[in-house]
């Protein structure tokens, strides 16, 4: 199995773990703040599937399917990041932005959501917090899975000469693929 396919599998496992951690955090936060469940993920899924408009409150199954499905699929990218050598908090921060972006593309593209800068500040802060929890939890698992296979091609390339150097060529193709 190559670095990209192995990374995608690692990432989907990591994404499942990350969404579990995020969901636990959301439920704890909701108990403390009294904030209700969001029905936006379910509405997005209904729109993506071309289903007729449903009542304002989506069935929990649609909300859960979108919430978990999107997290697992987007997690594939974090797994690839880890397997190619992009690991640690910096990479998890980059990935958190990707996760936030995927939400906004789907929500705004389906007409279900509005740009985050138009949201009430408290709602925005809560969403950013939960997505960061997902991004970093997913990253921890993806990094741990990738570490079992050794350094990624990016890490091996960086080890040739520290820092960003113009005179260091790429790794041989066979070494980059493993």
The domain spans of the chain are: 3-177
Q: What confidence tens digit (pLDDT) does each residue in 26-70 have? A: 999 999 999 998 889 999 999 999 987 666 666 788 899 999 999
CB 104 within 8 A of CB 128: no
Q: What pLDDT score was predicted for residue 126?
A: 96
In this prediction the pTM is 0.88
Query: What value does the CA radius of gyration of the chain take, rounded to a whole number of Å?
Result: 19
Output DSSP code: residue 116. Answer: G
């Amino acid at each position: 199995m190559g670095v990209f396919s192995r990374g995608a599998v690692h990432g989907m496992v990591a994404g499942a773990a990350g969404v579990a951690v995020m969901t636990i955090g959301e439920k704890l936060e909701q108990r403390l703040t009294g904030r209700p469940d969001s029905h936006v993920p379910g509405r997005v899924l209904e729109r993506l599937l071309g289903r007729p408009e449903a009542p304002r409150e989506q069935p929990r199954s649609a909300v859960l399917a979108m919430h978990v499905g999107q997290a697992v699929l987007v997690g594939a990218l974090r797994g690839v990041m880890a397997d190619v050598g992009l690991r640690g908090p910096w990479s998890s921060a980059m990935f958190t932005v990707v996760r936030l972006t995927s939400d906004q593309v789907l929500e705004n593209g389906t007409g279900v959501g509005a740009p985050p800068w138009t949201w009430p500040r408290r709602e925005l802060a809560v969403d950013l917090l939960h997505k960061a929890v997902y991004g970093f939890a997913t990253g921890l698992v993806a990094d741990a899975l990738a570490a079992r296979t050794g350094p990624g091609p990016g890490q091996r390339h960086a080890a040739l000469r520290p820092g960003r150097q113009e005179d260091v060529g790429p790794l041989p193709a066979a070494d980059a693929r493993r």
